[in-house]
Amino acid sequence: QLQLQESGPGLVKPSETLSLTCIVSGGSITSSDYYWGWIRQPPGKGLEWIGNIYYSGSTDYNPSLKSRVTISVDTSRTQFSLKLTSVTAADTAVYYCARLRYFDWTFDYWGQGTLVTVSS
């Protein structure tokens, strides 16, 4: 059974960089059938797609966040990571990692999410 687990600091100061890692277990991160994505949910709001990465390193980002987001993959450690720069309180959210199926553009497995609070 595929499992994804987010990890990283729960508190980040304004203007600093938010860094999270998603560890993938029970499946291959190098399968050609899947992308790997990040989604977030601010308190009291809906889900927002942040971006995806393919095992080759190819990325796609939400245009509204593109200037501040970098997603990378480490296939040797079966994990992928999110960096969001210049954070503000508006970036406070639960951050989820998920697997995206290439053949029908569906997020089929998700992590439980991790809350990141931006505050001084």
The contact set with other proteins (CB under 8 A) reads 4, 37, 39, 45-49, 52, 60, 62-64, 96, 98, 104-113
The least CB distance from residue 13 to other proteins, in Å, is 26
β-partners of residue 99 are 36, 109
What are the residues whose beta carbons fall under 8 Å from the beta carbon of 23, sequence distance 6 or more? Answer: 4, 5, 7, 77, 78, 79
Give the whole-angstrom CA distance, residue 76 versus residue 68: 26
Please say which residue, 39 or 73, places its beta carbon nearer to other proteins.
39
Please say which residue, 43 or 76, places its beta carbon nearer to other proteins.
43
> Encoding tokens for residue 100?
């995206």
> Encoding tokens for residue 15?
């203007």
The least CB distance from residue 120 to other proteins, in Å, is 27
The least CB distance from residue 88 to other proteins, in Å, is 19
Please say which residue, 16 or 65, places its beta carbon nearer to other proteins.
65
**Do the beta carbons of residue 8 and residue 17 sit within 8 Å?**
no
The least CB distance from residue 52 to other proteins, in Å, is 7
